[in-house]
Structure 1
Amino acid sequence: MIAKIKGNVEAVNGNRVIVDVNGLGYEVQCPERSINAIEKNKCISLYIQTVLRDDTINLYGFLSLEEKKAFSTLQTVQGVGAKLAMTIIGFFSVKELGNHIGSGDEKSICSAPGVGAKVAKRIITELKDVYSDQSNNYDNEALTKRNSINSALINLGYSQAEALNLIQKIRSDINDGASIEELIKEALRRSD
């Protein structure tokens, strides 16, 4: 898996950039906020999220680890795929998104293109344990656990939808201090 790419920007086309790394060009999709900061013929470093879908491999690039984490977290919400997560990350800064989720501000989340009331409500409901209303800070521990469990379940043969459903079933356990191993075992136990 590719985690980071550093190289020269060969081209910027829409929300995609081609990054030349020692003669090998990587096409990377980036959020709108990042695209606006990327200049052709400049050296750039992008944190990469690789998404495998059927017969395609897509690279999603972010200027910060926080954006990448938010992108991954949004995809754990039922009904939010890579395309919509990328749109949301391009529309809001990570801090703005955290504030909206933490405060339960459905209306603001709905202002992002492609986000309806049902999806906004689901984002708030499913991610309220990750974005704290009290501190409005990103809860990295809950996010790390959630992403690790999601990856483990997919590696065990569960579909993305099944993994998300199991994560929802153990959501309250994620914040109770259980280890990732215990949480995976609990998710597997509840899958029966």
Structure 2
Amino acid sequence: MIGMLHGRVESVDMSSALIEVGGVGYEIRMPSADLASMHAGQEVKVYTSLNVSQDAITLFGFLTPASKRMFLQLQKVSGIGPKVALSLLSTLPPDRLAHAVADGDATALAKAPGLGKKGAQKIILELKGSIDLSQIETAASVISRPEDTGSEQVVEGLISLGWRQQDALHAVQEVWQGATTSQHP
């Protein structure tokens, strides 16, 4: 089993990245948000899951352990394979996906290509209560929090005003992303 790779990105396309590790190039299927954050020449650590099927051997990868855990947990639901699990993680980040399951939001889950309303309801039925939201939220906040911007103090301030931690993190991230976009067109 290949659990993690650390190497240099050779290329990125719409569904996968080619990562060179020790002279070997690994083609890794990844969620769209992970792929969008990668570029050729970048050093990356990718948490992987190897899937062996009748007609292919496929390596799936994630930039966070939380994404990998969510990917594996989704596949525990009967009828949900790696392609649908990856589609879900490309549609919703792990923290929002976990909240959609916890809140019973089948509409949010059904937005993923390859998953209908019945499949979304099945995921909710089988996974509700088994996803550790605190672990996923902590991982999401550590990974996505911009450094040296004062965002940590802003999040703490919003929480002291009664905001939920996840809502405060999400709001600060949106503002920060908007600010960097306007500074660097």
In structure 2, the partner of 1:78 is: 78
Give me the TM-score of the superposition, normalised by structure 2. 0.70
In structure 1, the partner of 2:168 is: none
SS at match of 2:61: strand
Q: How many residues align?
A: 136
* CA distance in structure 2 between the partners assigned to 1:138 and 1:5 by the alignment: 22
In structure 1, the partner of 2:134 is: 137
* CA distance in structure 2 between the partners assigned to 1:22 and 1:138 by the alignment: 32
* CA distance in structure 1 between the partners assigned to 2:117 and 2:6 by the alignment: 38
What one-letter code is carried by the residue in structure 2 that aligns with 1:77?
Answer: V
Q: Are 2:27 and 1:56 aligned?
A: no
| Structure 1 residue 118: Cα displacement | 0.7
| Runs of 4+ that moved beyond 2 A | 136-139
SS at match of 2:40: coil
In structure 1, the partner of 2:2 is: 2
In structure 2, the partner of 1:121 is: 121
* CA distance in structure 2 between the partners assigned to 1:22 and 1:46 by the alignment: 14
* CA distance in structure 2 between the partners assigned to 1:86 and 1:56 by the alignment: 16
* CA distance in structure 1 between the partners assigned to 2:58 and 2:114 by the alignment: 20
What one-letter code is carried by the residue in structure 1 that aligns with 2:123?
Answer: I
* CA distance in structure 2 between the partners assigned to 1:131 and 1:102 by the alignment: 8
What one-letter code is carried by the residue in structure 1 that aligns with 2:113?
Answer: P
* CA distance in structure 1 between the partners assigned to 2:135 and 2:96 by the alignment: 11
In structure 1, the partner of 2:29 is: 29
1:23-77 C-alpha deviation (Å, 9 max, x unpaired):
1111111111100101111111100101111242110010000000000010111
SS at match of 2:114: coil
In structure 2, the partner of 1:94 is: 94
Unmatched segments (≥5 aa) in structure 2: 137-185
